[in-house]
Structure 1
Amino acid sequence: MSFQNTLAYAQEQDHADPLRYFKEHFHIPQHNGKDTVYLCGNSLGLQPKSARAALEEEMTKWAELGVEGHFKGDNPWFTYHKPLSELSAALVGAKPEEVVIMNQLTVNLHLMLVSFYRPEGKRFKILTEAGAFPSDQYALETQAKFHGYHPDEAILEIAPREGESTWRTEDILAAIAEHKDELALVMLSGVHYYTGQVFDMAAITQAAHAAGVPCGFDLAHAAGNVPMQLHDWDVDFAVWCTYKYLNSGPGGTSGVFVHERHAQNNDLPRFAGWWGHDQAQRFQMKKGFIPMAGAEGWQVSNGQILPMAVHKASLQIFADAGIEKLRAKSEKLTGYLEFLIKELNQPKELLEIITPADPAARGCQLSLLVNQNGRQLFDTLMANGFILDWREPNVIRVAPTPLYNTFEDVYRFGQFLTAHFQK
């Protein structure tokens, strides 16, 4: 695509954008009485204006019905998660029965590891990416210890090649093949939080299965960011949060995918709770866990109705916009951001994009490696109404999110960087 470094061009692109009206569905944080340039949806998505009404609806139901809200009204709490499964399944390429909304991400990751990390004999190792998000690292580390293994022996971390910032798919596949007789699980991010790289989930899953190993993904930075086909890719399990690109509030609820071949397997080990017990018999209060069919059988506790209400409001926005259309805009917005940064003509020793250049290998995030005074630049941007994300030791993450960011937002960011580096 041919880009231009002018305000007129940016405004022209915004005028032609069929998704431009969706920005009006969100509250934009203010700075000195004006909208900020919010480029931080990869950390916390903005609040949908419909979220407050969604919360009020459930608060009113609670006030008027009390406990009867579980069974009365248009959306009884007893089955509140079900429409969320359908809306979420469309975003991750799954069947509704393969998806459930519950708990929070790392809790769900542990629940999945109980079922899918089943070390035995010489097959006890987990293959993951080096520098995974800390919560994933801690989950894998403690699961290995729980099974009696030392993490240094049980966890195989594959790193980018020397002098490179991102992973080559062929290296991941080669590592799976090399260690196939030792592996009990392959578990990686869908999109790497630090670099913004999209992993080839289909190829990685296929390689894992060829080695006889289950494969799962943390989709915290992928859900609502890139289209996926978890069912068709034959992924065994996945987990994600909803407060980043899915705009469902700080500490919001989480999503789980379990492929139908597992979701119908009642013999698969799991940690059980009463909300995953057969719905028809749940209130008989009897011993003997009988899991619900599908991913719902991994539920352990009552649904988090208030966070789910916000999530439902956000999911409806995604349904209206369409993930494929959002992805098309995302590629253009991120491409425009890349173009403007390259226009700065800064040496790599000073400023470098470490996110893949291939649009198919990245979401709507560019990670800028700033080797001199990076924190100072970040603080200056924040002080001037540009809300971004800093990651130690020297990366500024910039995420032009297609639901509420514009080409003019990206242009203004580029202009500020231009002025900064011309000083």
Structure 2
Amino acid sequence: MKILIVEDSKINQYIARDTLLKYEIDCEIDYATDGEVALQHIYDKSVDLVLLDIIMPKLTGLQVLEHLRSSKKSDIPKIIMLTTISDSTTLKACFDLGASDYIKKPFEEMDFISRINSTFREIENERKLKQNAQLLESQNAKLIQVNESLQEAQYHLVQKEKLVAIGELAAGIAHEINNPLAFVISNFTNIRQYVDSFEHFTKTIMNKVDDPALTFDEFKILASNLWEKSDMTFIFEDFPELITDSQKGLDRVAKIVNSMRNFARLSDENYFEYVDINELLEEVFIVVNNEVKYIATLEKNLSQCPPIYCNKGQIEQVFVNLIINAAHAIKGHTYAGSGVIRVETIPEKDYCIIMICDNGSGIDSDNLNKIFDPFFTTKPVGQGTGLGLSISHNIIVDKHQGKISVESQFGEGTCFKISLPYSHEVSTS
């Protein structure tokens, strides 16, 4: 510890010094005989404790305290006043300006040493508190950095799992798009033929309109024969139907592409909006349709629920994961086409309940409590990452403050119950 004794009396300086040495106080001692020198010393050098006389030439102890109080110095030392004054008003002014304690003159050894030791302990405690605060600040900064890294890693894992699902669905989606497109292409082949027939009929008629050799009755007979020969009655009946059917096919393609685009997009994980859960499920049914339709019947019982405040892309991913898992559980367990996946929405007071159940192979009781663990999977190597249900649990529970539970009977089927609150505080964890 470094002590500065500010005292205009040399005798008092020596008494203070000798007392510190007598009681083996571990410190370095400097001296100042007036307030100006004391201030210069405090500003220029490192001082832990100042023993400051109140009555001095040039600047009094109170004036020194006022200077220090008004300065921008961050590490002002502890100050113990040295005084013969018993005036409580003056002592209070010293404490108001930052003094820690006071020692009466002439010094009484035990009182002097006990106050010095007490102030030293206070300095040591403050140092430790400051060090601990700095350490905590440093550790907190590191934790923030680690948390940001974990969030980024988790975001990429979520997107990777989404890409895995897209990869599994890609062939089926291509097939879903190819069917209506092939139908539309076939229709447009007929439409092209009909347009050619109509063009031939129109040009032939127009060429005969200005023929002076044809009477009106002859023109009518010619037009009627050409109409029959060109099968124009059938063309005019079939043409609108071809256009309507083609429009339906293209609308189907647009719906599939739009649903897949919505599912595949890399959405902002912190963007939340109010969503109609039934409309969202209908989009999901389009995305997974080809994965399910040859394996199971998709039974829908969707009751109207209030809009849910959610991240649409994340909730879609959960439903796609669960329905694909249900299809995989059914495949190979039941006769082709005899599987059932039932999706139901149930409005409750604070939550919308979504049930996704299947009559697939079920989950062994030994594995039931592990299914939400990261990388746990019962699928063969190369089929799935083991992240789908873990990510689904994180999305429902951590991101949306919801609930997800599962009931399963091995060999009979599985039922997932998801409870999503209508509104909640957005979590960024």
Q: Calculate the TM-score normalised by the size of structure 2.
A: 0.19
Point out which structure has higher relative CO (alpha carbons under 8 A, 6+ apart).
Answer: 1
Determine which structure has more spread, i.e. the larger CA radius of gyration: 2
Please state which structure has a larger fraction of its residues in helix. Answer: 2
